[in-house]
Amino acid sequence: MTPKTPHEIVGGVNRKEGWAIDMAWKFNEALVNKLISSFLGHTPFNQDLARDVLEILVTTKDHLPSLDHIRRFLNQVTINVCRDQRKKMNTQENHEGSLIYHFRSMEEDDIEIAEATAYQQMLIRRKIAKIPGKSGRVFHLQFIEKMSESEIALQLNISEKTVLNHLSAAYTFLRMDRKETQRRYAYPLIILLLIYLYETL
For residues 103-115, give the mean pLDDT: 58
Residues 127-175 have pLDDT tens digits of 767 777 777 788 788 877 888 888 988 888 888 888 888 888 877 777 7
pLDDT confidence tier of residue 99, bands split at 50, 70 and 90: low
Show the 3-state SS of the chain.
CCCCCHHHHHHHHHCCCHHHHHHHHHHHHHHHHHHHHHHHCCCCCHHHHHHHHHHHHHHCCCCCCCHHHHHHHHHHHHHHHHHHHHHHHHHHHHHHHHHHHHHHHHHHHHHHHHHHHHHHHHHHHHHHHHCCHHHHHHHHHHHCCCCCHHHHHHHHCCCHHHHHHHHHHHHHHHHHHHHHHHHHHHHHHHHHHHHHHHHHC
pLDDT at 142: 82
CATH topology of domain 131-200: Arc Repressor Mutant, subunit A (1.10.10)
pLDDT confidence tier of residue 38, bands split at 50, 70 and 90: confident
Please give the model's pTM, rounded to 2 decimal places.
0.45
pLDDT at 19: 92
Domain ranges of the chain: 6-94, 131-200
pLDDT at 134: 78
